Structure 1
Amino acid sequence: MSAFSRSRRTLAAVAGAAALALALTACGSSSMNMDSHSGTMDSHSPSAMPSMPSMPSMSTMPGMGSATSDGLADAQDGYRLSGLPDTLPAGQGAALRFSITAPDGRPLTDFAVEQTQRLHFYAIRSDLTGFQHLHPTLAGDGSGGWTAQLAAPEAGTWRFYASFTPDSGPGKGRAYVLSRTATVPGPQSEVPLPAPAGSATTPDGYTVTATVPGGRLMAGMAHELTVTVSKDGQPVTDLQPYLETYAHLTAFHAGDQAFAHLHPETTATGERGGPTLTFHAELAEPGDWRLFLQFQTAGQLHTAALTLNAAG
């Protein structure tokens, strides 16, 4: 049984006891909707589905390492994302250099390792296309400088996110996500967000299907999201370890680009995993979210993109 399930049973018991106490006192007085746009499918499924029992907010669960904000600010608790450019040339890769400034005004150099990395860096365009998940390198000279190799971006407005956990100082052990935007000049063509649907197929033929118990995700509540990977109608069982698990899942909110990392419950225990993976899913805002699932087979990294709707 996962920690997620044990926690849910414990909370259910506490809630039941509380309800009984209230009843005695009273007697004495008086869809999930998902889509497929990794470029291959665009279908729609109904959202009027029953709700499911929910978990408490991840921020109340010890040891979960959840981020403390939606990732839309460049500073929090005295930590600041600095050095990223305001503009970038279209059609050209770039070495993005930046640093995290600590509350004492000095560059932060002490980072905890989270899923094999000391810092995760993400880039996405305002229409939630062009997703990139990068692992920057930290300068070895003690300057606290990071370098991320960005693939050539298309014209438009981009947001860059730095996800990290200080390993010393006032924010030690607390996960942060900071971000800044940059403009890539040139003619821009907005890509409409695909409608929610239950599955998506990658360009190389992998199909990803996502479900939650009860079939509906509620904003601000935690759920257990199950993802199944198949190919040509057959379950995929050769998923390789990637970042300490068999898949990595990130979400961005349509409109404001709020960030959410859906923490894996399935850890990598061998060289072959799948086809079913579970994640702790908590999306703070109602509306559509764009999910990017990354997994690896035969040394190749695949990315599946889905749109999920969180009900208010």
Structure 2
Amino acid sequence: MAIEGWAMEDHTNHDDTDSPRGYGSGGHATLGGLSVHADGFRFVPVTTRFSPGEPSDWKFHIVAPDGTIRTEFDEAHGQRGHLIVVRRDLTRFQHLHPTLENDGTWRVEAFTLPDPGIYRAFLDLMIDGRPITLGFDIFAPGPLEVAARPETARHATTAEYHVELSSDEVSAGETTELTFEIRRNGDHVSRLDSYLGALGHLVALREGDLAYLHVHPEETSPDSGRVKFGAKFPTPGRYRLFLQSKPEGTLIITQHDVRIDN
């Protein structure tokens, strides 16, 4: 299965609630990105409509509980903000790092929605040591062709690399180990390089509401050709997984589909 979308650049509790946090420090993500408002903070874009395929500078602010524009944010994984954008048919994945200006304006230069459709923008932030994930729908008008999706897809190919997902039986509400084997010409890659301080990053989106999980990996050897995650899927349903890894210095993104029936 070839990847849809493209790489542009580069989180975790154990409950069953739709938490505003999309990530944390423990290794198992909670649901996030379902609201523009979390812990009193609001995601306020300057615009939400874009011409498909045309780059523009996108600006937004984070408004604090007292109504002022927040200007101070902590770094997480080397960045003060991580922006994930995906079309609502779970395609056209992007991972961006907006810049923060002194007045609290976040800016994404040459921001582009490649095709018509409704997209969800997820913003991961760290504020006073607390992780927060906010979400907002943005739009690119025009005729929409919805991509077909398989029930499950454990294999993906991009560039010269083949990535296979293996796991124990995946059950809702239980922590599952997900292992991604990365090969080139049939053999495990000789080296996985660090990307933003880790050997891989995994974003999972639930079909239907795009509830968001962002998980960082367990410790593995960089020369094993494998990257492992412990993830807890809170409910049955279909999930699309977007893996970011850096085999032999090449940043790749692959997508995988899992279905949880219980």
Per the TM superposition, whether the score is higher than 0.5 is yes
Map 1:139-150 onto structure 2 (within 5 A). 139=101, 141=102, 143-149=103-109, 150=111
- Residue 231 of structure 2 aligns to which amino acid in structure 1? A
**2:207 aligned with 1:254, yes or no?**
yes
Match of 1:290 in 2: 240
Contact 1:207 1:231 in 2 (8 A): yes
Within the alignment, does 1:95 sit opposite 2:57 as a pair? yes
Identical aligned pairs, as a percentage? 34
Structure that is richer in helix per residue: 1
Q: Deviations over 1:152-189 (max 9, x none)?
A: 4200111111011102xxxxx32211111112111110
Kindly tell me: are residues 306 and 84 of structure 1, through their superposed partners in 2, closer, same or farther at Cα, counting changes over 3 Å?
A: farther
CA change 1:253–1:240 in 2 (3 A) is: same
Whether 1:201 aligns to 2:161 is: no
User: Equivalent residue of 1:70, what SS?
Assistant: coil
* 1:164 and 2:125 matched: yes
Question: Which 5+ residue runs of structure 1 have no aligned equivalent?
Answer: 1-35, 40-55, 168-172
Q: Could you report, residue by residue, the CA deviation over 1:43-99 in whole angstroms, capped at 9, with x for unpaired residues?
A: xxxxxxxxxxxxx82799x94286664311100120110124221111112222112
Mapping of residues 82-161 of structure 1, within 5 Å: 82-139=44-101, 141=102, 143-149=103-109, 150-161=111-122
Q: Please list every run of at least 4 consecutive aligned residues from structure 1 whose deviation after the TM superposition is greater than 6 angstroms.
A: none
The alignment partner of 2:130 has SS state of coil
Change (3 A) 1:222 1:134: same
**Gaps in structure 2 of 5+ consecutive residues:** 5-12, 18-23
1:57 pairs with 11, 14, 31, which one? 14
Contact 1:69 1:177 in 2 (8 A): no
* Alpha-carbon offset, residue 283 of structure 1: 2.0
Deviation readout 1:131-151 (Å, 9 max, x if unpaired): 000011111x2x111112423
**One-letter identity of the residue aligned with 2:118:** T
What is the TM-score normalised by the length of structure 1?
Answer: 0.72
**Counterpart amino acid of 2:32?**
D
Aligned to 1:186: 142
What do residues 1-60 of structure 1 show as CA deviations (whole Å, max 9, x unaligned)? xxxxxxxxxxxxxxxxxxxxxxxxxxxxxxxxxxx4515xxxxxxxxxxxxxxxx82799
Matched ranges for 1:23-62 at <5 A: 36=1, 38=3, 57=14
CA deviations 1:241-286 (Å, max 9, x no partner) are 101011111111112111111221137x8xx544111112122232
The offset of 1:298, in angstroms, is 4.8
Q: CA separation of 1:120/1:226 partners in 2, compared to 1, >3 Å: closer, same or farther?
A: same
Quick check: 2:29–2:215 contact (8 Å CA) kept in 1? no
Q: 1:194: how far off?
A: 2.4
The DSSP-based 3-state class of the residue aligned with 1:218 is coil
Residue 277 in 1 paired to residue 234 in 2? no
Which has the higher mean CA deviation after the structures are superposed, 244-253 or 101-110? Answer: 101-110
- Relative distance call for 1:288 and 1:154 in structure 2 (3 A) is same
Residue identity in the other structure for 2:86? I
Give the structure with the higher percent strand. Answer: 2
Q: Does 1:211 align with 2:166?
A: yes
Structure 2 counterpart of 1:240: 193
Q: How many residues align?
A: 247
CA distance 1:58–1:301, shift in 2 (3 Å): farther
Change (3 A) 1:217 1:125: same
CA RMSD of aligned residues (A): 2.4
Distance 1:69 1:106, change over 3 A: farther
Structure 1 residues 290 and 58, CA, compared in 2 at 3 Å: closer, same or farther? same
User: Does the 8 Å CA contact 2:180/2:227 hold for their aligned counterparts?
Assistant: yes
Work out which of the residue numbers 166, 170, 177 in structure 1 matches 2:133. 177
